[in-house]
Amino acid sequence: MRRSTLSRLAIAACSLSLLAGLAPAATATAPASPSSPSPHPPSYKRVGYFTQWGVYGRNFQVKDLDTSGAAAKLTHVNYAFGNVGPDGRCFTGNIPGEADAWADYGRPLDAAGSVDGVADTPSQPLAGNFNQLRELKAKYPHLKVMISLGGWSWSTHFSDAARTPASRRAFVASCLDLYLKGDLPVDGTRGGAGAAAGVFDGIDLDWEWPGSAGDTDTVFRPEDKRNFTALVHEFRTQLDAYGRSLDTPRRFELSAFVPTAPAKIDAGFDVPRIMRDFDFVTLQGYDFHVSGERRTAQQSALRARDDFSVEQTVRDWLRRGAPARKLVVGMPFYGQGWTGVTGGGDGMGQPAAGPAPATWAQGYEDYKALKKLADSGAYTVHRDHRGGHAWLFDGTTLWTYDDPRVLRTKAAYVRARGLGGAMFWSLDGDTADGELITAVDRGLGHR
């Protein structure tokens, strides 16, 4: 997944991040543990990422998950992101580009901005997004909140943290202390031991990528594949032990965001072994092509010949031993765009001058903005019905994206293949009335 060191540029960085994860592989063609979930979960998972930085420029607040109707339709909210320090520990603080404790638990919300309609007070130990997530869970008891660790920019120190048994134990313990036990650093009246206890229901690992290149400063080693497997098991072991130690024992979930490129999978993921410990994984289902490329192309096709696609990604994970019920398909709430497109026709597969202008970052636009372009009449909506993807083209600028019609097709595919559900990056890209999440929710229904 994604995280830029500059909040308002986060989305541009994340688009390019997944291109980097795909490019090297462009020509590449067990019994469950006692803690594993039931083989027949009652409902498809609907996992949405909430971005820490979205509360600023985008002004997308936790309360919007309530007012849009999204919270009622989601099973999981993944909070993006938590960081890993040079010492191999989970940490937070107010460090530009590295951590934002103010957004997490310091920022007070007034009554109008709060899920429960009550203003935060100066003396309460937990405010910000964490407190709003706690209020959201109180209103929607079915909802689980996961802390997602890493992302594109914050995977820098994963390899070091996973390198030895001692470093893995210390890393995992630090993450449980900070997020599950809720022992936050004291900042004025905020934080303290147990301040965030009960906010998070599990951990989502977003290491991009074990065993292969990620962001420019992200360390990777050949032994990452072995170490990642051991790290996942260490998380499962400590999560289970902590859950059993509580007065009311409970299970904490463990998930991960995983790549589409076969070379990336093989370099870093011992699929049969890690899937024993994961409750589910979310598959990269977008950024198959991005606006930094010289030709327009699909970014999230369901099917494609001799190219990346959702179907190819699912097939590659199944072939390597992943259970279908633990595979959750990633779906984009944004589009990739090019401008200066030449060659005529419908614009797809044609040369382009560069990324298209957009609201937050060139070449990347939220669905809610693309919907307005489609409704304006200035663009024509084109569809590849077999491939299961759509794009907008006005003769010069092209945007490839998923609209409700595409997402309904993908939801039907999830049902037909017996997969685990759908994941969305990211929730702030949807319309104010949750048009995209509603389409997927209706398409998935229940098992």
**Active centre residues (catalytic):** 208
Single out the residue of 389, 220, 280 nearest to residue 44, CA to CA.
280
Task: Go through 412-423 and write b for each residue having 16 or more CB atoms within 10 A of its CB, e for each that does not.
Answer: ebbbeeebbbbb
Check if the beta carbon of residue 297 is closer than 8 Å to that of residue 349: yes
Q: H or E stretch including 331?
A: strand 327-332
- Neighbour tally for 233: CB within 10 Å: 18
Q: For residues 362 and 292, give the distance between their C-alpha atoms in angstroms, rounded to a whole number.
A: 9
Phi, psi for residue 390 in degrees, rounded to 5? -135, 160
- Neighbour tally for 287: CB within 10 Å: 27
Q: For residues 433 and 367, give the distance between their C-alpha atoms in angstroms, rounded to a whole number.
A: 13
Single out the residue of 338, 219, 103, 42 nearest to residue 93, CA to CA.
103
Check if the beta carbon of residue 96 is closer than 8 Å to that of residue 7: no
- Residue 374: alpha-carbon gap to chain centroid: 26
Q: For residues 205 and 41, give the distance between their C-alpha atoms in angstroms, rounded to a whole number.
A: 22
Phi, psi for residue 384 in degrees, rounded to 5? -105, 100
Taken in order 289, 319, 219, 183, is the CA torsion positive or negative? positive
Burial of 320 (0-12, 13-18, 19+ CB in 10 A): middle
